[in-house]
């Protein structure tokens, strides 16, 4: 069975980080056209962070603000 959101690392601290991150980056950092929608794990996946550190690293350099389309494409390319 799949772990719940908290067990996957999506804590209140993460929610606050992601909200602030997206407010400071209102446009998708990949296509630079659409509004940003999600704080995407860019350097390593959330699963990799959890396995390595036991939590998400809240460092803005590890993420990109993505629109829905670019987020879906990045997941598709990584096979998620």
6 to 23, 43, 61: CA distances (angstroms): 23, 21, 22
Alpha carbon distance 39, 59 (integer Å): 12
pLDDT confidence of residue 24? 97
**pLDDT over threshold 80, residue 76:** no
pTM, full prediction: 0.81
**pLDDT over threshold 80, residue 17:** yes
Q: How does pLDDT run across 25-39, given as a tens digit for each residue?
A: 999 999 999 999 999
Is 24 in contact with 10 (CB distance < 8 Å)?
no
Q: How does pLDDT run across 38-62, given as a tens digit for each residue?
A: 999 888 888 888 889 888 899 999 9
């Amino acid at each position: 069975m799949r772990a719940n959101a908290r067990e996957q690392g999506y804590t209140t601290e993460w929610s606050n980080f992601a909200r602030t991150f997206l407010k400071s980056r209102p446009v998708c950092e990949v296509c630079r056209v659409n509004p940003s929608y999600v704080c995407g794990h860019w350097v390593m996946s959330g699963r990799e962070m959890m396995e390595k550190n036991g939590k998400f690293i809240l460092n803005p350099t590890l993420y990109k603000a993505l629109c829905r389309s670019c987020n879906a494409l990045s997941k598709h390319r990584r096979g998620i």
